[in-house]
Amino acid sequence: MNKVWQIARREFVATVFTKGFLIGLLIVPLIGVVLVTLGPRLFGDRERTVEGEIAVIDSTGVVLPHVRSVISARRSPMAVTELLERARAGDASDMVLNALGAATRLTLVERPAGADVEQEKLWINEPMPAAPHLALIVVHANAVEPTPGSSNLGSYDLYVPSRLDNRVEIAVQGVMREAIIDARADVRDLNRTELSLIMQVPRVRSTTVGADGERNTVFGLNIIIPAAFMGLLIMGVMFAGQGMLTTTVEEKSNRVIEVLLSAVSPMQLMGGKLLGHMGISLLAMSLYFAFGLVALTAFSLFGLLDVKLIFYLLIFYFIAFFTIGSLMMAIGSAANEMREAQQLLMPLMLAMMLPWILWWPIVQNPSSTLAVVVSFVPPINSFGMLLRIASAEPPPAWQVWLSIGFGVAGAFGALWVAAKIFRIGILMFGKAPDMKTLAAWVRAA
């Protein structure tokens, strides 16, 4: 055991006390901080201006004046603010709000009501226009008042050039929507401002009532917490797995491996490396977890954290670590250089991508068949089950423990396979092994 400890200690010291480790450890939270603080400034499009011409064929004869006045009003910041308020009250998406918030400098090209639509379409792609031709709009005859014998109102047809920015289209649609509603209100002799006020019901913030008291509901927390725990788990496992893979390839390529094997058995070496890198990733996870706790405390949300989740995080971490970490180390032992290791790693990396791909449907519906299946199949069951446990609809306890049982069995299986590959792989140099060779090593060892 002392030798295993010595190997583990060296791995830990050689990794942790390096600039690379510190940079690697800090880079993720740093990116997070940068995205949160600078992201809106960097990626926001408030400065964007929607500028160009729109041609309108108004079959009703009453919409055009309103289009003109809406376009004119959109140039006023006050009107835009009001528009955004209205859109927010109507639960518009961020994308729509951004588009509406963009400054619009549209120029209206009025076409006669009986104009030939096919001919007018040519205007859209007219070469070298003075101002961009953004859209051709054909307002339906029943857009303002229903045709006799029908109660349905029509709308308009929108023709746009290819490769038009979505935000331009949203802005044009916003203009047309406002103009048609204004026209409808006008012909019915309704007060448009009053109508807007009537339609406004501001979104309220709910209050969560728990056994420990009341607090403002944090919107999206049921999604953020499972994602955060899964992210922490993946980060911890990959951190260790990548480290074991890299150091094993290095030890093999710089030929120090045989010196080590003269002092320890392959199993002691593998055990020591597993232990050392487990310590490294637990340290990294603890630091990230501490960052998370500080953030929760800063926003007075510490009470949201369920201690049970930390317990399950640890259990599933150990399962995932021994399953994926040992396989990554085995791959490292079989490869002569990192390029070969990356090729052998591909199937495992594809499996590791599944939690990223599936986390959203699992969190949205934690009891779906997909979520249940994912939470039982090693090596990704740890991620799937942790997502479900942290979700708003946790699974029954028997499922959690059954998943743990499957996970432990999977971990033992992975360790068994990894040990067999490791024992042969570390002394194999030359031709890069393929999956068939690895399978042969498992059978032979």
Partner 1 sequence: MASTGTAIELQAVTKTFGSLTAVDRLDLTIARGALYGFIGPNGAGKTTAIRMIMSILLPDSGRLRVLGLPSALEAKDRIGYLPEERGLYRKMKVAPYLMFIAKLKGVAERGLKERVHSAIERIGLKGVEGKRCEELSKGMSQKIQILAAIVHEPDLLILDEPFSGLDPVSTRLLKDLILAEHRRGATVLFSTHVMPQAEEICEHVVMIHRGHKVLDDPVRAILRPHDSRALTFEPLDGHVDLGALNALPEVAGCIGANGHYEIALRDGVNATAAMRSVLGVVPASRIELKRRSLEDVFVSIAGTEGGSSGAATSGKAAA
* Sites of contact with partner 1 (CB under 8 A): 2-3, 6-7, 10, 14, 18, 251, 254-256, 258-265, 427, 429
Q: How far is the CB of 237 from partner 1 (least distance, A)?
A: 25
Shortest reach from residue 287's CB to partner 1, in Å: 23
Secondary structure letter of residue 51 according to DSSP: E
Could you give the CA distance from residue 236 to residue 281 in angstroms, rounded to a whole number?
A: 5
Classified as helix, coil or strand, 152 is coil
Q: Which is nearer to partner 1, 106 or 257 (CB)?
A: 257
Beta partners for residue 209, in sequence order: 214
Q: Which of these, 391, 27, 116, 20, lies nearest to 374 by C-alpha position? A: 391
Copy the structure tokens of residue 205: 């913030």
Q: State which residue, 144 or 419, has the beta carbon closest to partner 1.
A: 419
Cis preceding-peptide flag for 40 (omega within 30 of 0): no
Helix (H) or strand (E) holding 379: none
- State how far the Cα of 322 lies from the Cα of 315, in Å rounded to an integer: 11
Give the sign of the dihedral formed by CA 67, CA 69, CA 70, CA 76: positive
Pick from 367, 221, 205: nearest CA to 301: 221
- The burial class, CB within 10 Å (0-12 / 13-18 / 19+), for 223 is middle
Cβ proximity to partner 1: between 261 and 372 the closer is 261
Q: In angstroms, rounded to a whole number, what is the distance separating the alpha carbons of residues 276 and 9? A: 6
C-beta separation of 282 from 307 below 8 A: no
- Least Å from the CB of residue 431 to partner 1: 13
The span from the CA of 370 to the CA of 222, in Å, is 19
Q: Tokens for 437, please give them.
A: 């060779």
